[in-house]
Amino acid sequence: MLKKYLFLTKPGILFGNFVTTLGGFFLAAQGSIDILLLLLTLIGTTLVVASGCVVNNVIDQDIDIKMQRTQNRALVKKTISPTVALIYAFVLGIIGFSILWFGVNGYAFLFAVIGFAITEIVKVEKFNLMEFAQSIAAVVGVHSAGIWAKRDTEPEPQLTDQTTEDNK
């Protein structure tokens, strides 16, 4: 049963986004890796992407039933209902967005919202621009990973007794 839910998240897409985010994070970190920040970034981003993939599965049911490659998906076979899948997507999204907002920063959250919205709006409208939307989402992911990695790299200015004396 858990396998069906895992495959709703499209593990191949998750892996691709994971690698992209990881690469962007390492490039932006410039050798100074905050392991906790890296883990929170990867987990939050992966959960947001997983949420989007589940939503895409719900949207694509009508297409999936016609394609041999996708005819055995859980939503097509009705082993998971669309309502349950959307609840699953909602929970994944809430957890992922929360991790990015509270554990990483507002920029990470904002870029995740932008990437999610672009991908889902294009998909819902069925513009057949999915590759374009995924490219934009990947660029957003790489740029946001760079912002995330830079979050705590600047040292806080320290007040000294001399600084206090100078201001009197």
- For the stretch 26-60, pLDDT in tens is 988 888 899 999 999 999 999 999 999 999 899 88
Both tokens of 91, joined, read 């929970």
Both tokens of 12, joined, read 């191949």
pLDDT tier for residue 1 given thresholds of 50, 70 and 90: confident
Look at residue 145 and tell me whether its pLDDT is greater than 70.
no
Residue ranges in the chain assigned as alpha helix (H) = 2-8, 11-29, 35-59, 61-64, 74-77, 82-98, 106-125, 130-149, 161-166
Nearest-CA neighbor of 104 among 166, 47, 30? Answer: 47
Q: What is the pTM of this model?
A: 0.75
Q: When comparing pLDDT for 1 and 160, which is higher?
A: 1
- Rounded distance between C-alpha atoms, residue 37 and residue 135, angstroms: 25
